[in-house]
Structure 1
Amino acid sequence: MRYVMIIVGDETAWYEPKLPDGLMDEVGAWWGKWFEAGKLADGGAELQRTATAKTVGPGPDGRTTVTDGPFVELKEQVGGFIHLIADDIDDAVAVAATWPGIAAVGDRVEVRPVLER
C-alpha cells in the first residue's frame, strides 16, 4: 500500500538560525536506507516557508479569492511530504518513526494511507 508521511513542525527550527550540524547528512542517509529497502516511492518534496504560500478559497460573494500566506496561523506548519510503500500502517509508522527531524528539531510526522480509487 501507499502512504504519505507528512512532516509537521515549527518552521523557524528548519531555517533560523540554521539546521543542527549534520542533520542534512542524516536525512540523506535516511533517504538512502529506506529507498534501498523499497519503502520510498518516487516523489515527495520539502516545502518553502509558509510566507511564500497563497491560499485559494471561496470569498463572501461565492467567487474565488486568493490571499497571501497560509489560511490559518498555526504554531506548526507542514514542511514536506514523502510517499511511502509499506505492507500496512504499522510498517509505514515504523519507517516514519526513524525520521531524523523528530529528535533533531522536534518534528512530528503524520502517516496517512493514500486513497486508491
Structure 2
Amino acid sequence: MQYAMLICGDDREWAALSPADEEDAMQRIYAWFERWQPAGKVGNGVELQPRETAKTVRSGANGKPVVTDGPYVELKEVVGSVILLECADMDEAVEVAASWPLGPGMSAVEVRPVTSREEG
C-alpha cells in the first residue's frame, strides 16, 4: 500500500543553515534514502521551494477563484517535502518515517495513506 510521508517544519530554519550545516543535513537525508530505497520502501519524492514562492487558490464568495501569495501567514510549519512510501501497513510506514533525520526546518513527519480510485 502507498503512504505519503510529509516532511513538515519551518522552512526559514532550513534557509538559515550555514552551507556546512546544510551539507551535513543532506548527507543524513541521502543516507536515509540509501537505507530504504533498496528495500523497496521509498518511491518518488519532491522537495518544495520556500513558502514565499507558493500561491494559494480558494473559492471566492462569487464562485471565482481568489489567489493569494503563500500559505496562511500565521503558519509556523509548512510541508517542505513529500515522499511516497510503499509499505505493507501503517505500522511499517510509521517505522520508515520515524527513521527520517529530523533537524532544523524539519520538525515533524506526517504519514497518510494514499487513496486509490479506480474508474469503472
Deviations 1:49-76 (A, max 9, x none): 1110011111122211211111453011
Aligned counterparts, 1:19-98, within 5 A: 20=21, 22-41=24-43, 43-98=44-99
Amino acid at match of 1:31: F
1:44 Cα offset (Å): 1.2
Q: Output the aligned Cα RMSD.
A: 1.5
Aligned counterparts, 1:97-116, within 5 A: 97-100=98-101, 102=102, 104-105=103-104, 107-116=107-116
Deviations 1:10-32 (A, max 9, x none): 11121114363511111111111
The TM-score with structure 2 as length reference comes to 0.87
Instruction: List structure 1 runs of 4+ shifted beyond 2 angstroms.
Output: 17-21
Amino acid at match of 1:28: Y
The TM-score with structure 1 as length reference comes to 0.89
Amino acid at match of 1:108: A
1:97 Cα offset (Å): 0.4
Mark the CA change 1:26 to 1:17 in structure 2 (over 3 Å): closer, same or farther.
Answer: closer
State the SS of the aligned residue for 1:36.
Answer: coil
Percent same amino acid at aligned positions? 48
Which structure 2 residue ranges, 5 or more long, are not aligned? none
Mark the CA change 1:56 to 1:46 in structure 2 (over 3 Å): closer, same or farther.
Answer: same
Which structure 1 residue ranges, 5 or more long, are not aligned? none
State the SS of the aligned residue for 2:37.
Answer: helix
- Distance in 1 of aligned mates of 2:112 and 2:75: 21
Amino acid at match of 1:50: R
Stretch deviating more after TM superposition (44-53 or 16-25): 16-25
Amino acid at match of 2:46: A
Q: How many residues align structurally?
A: 114
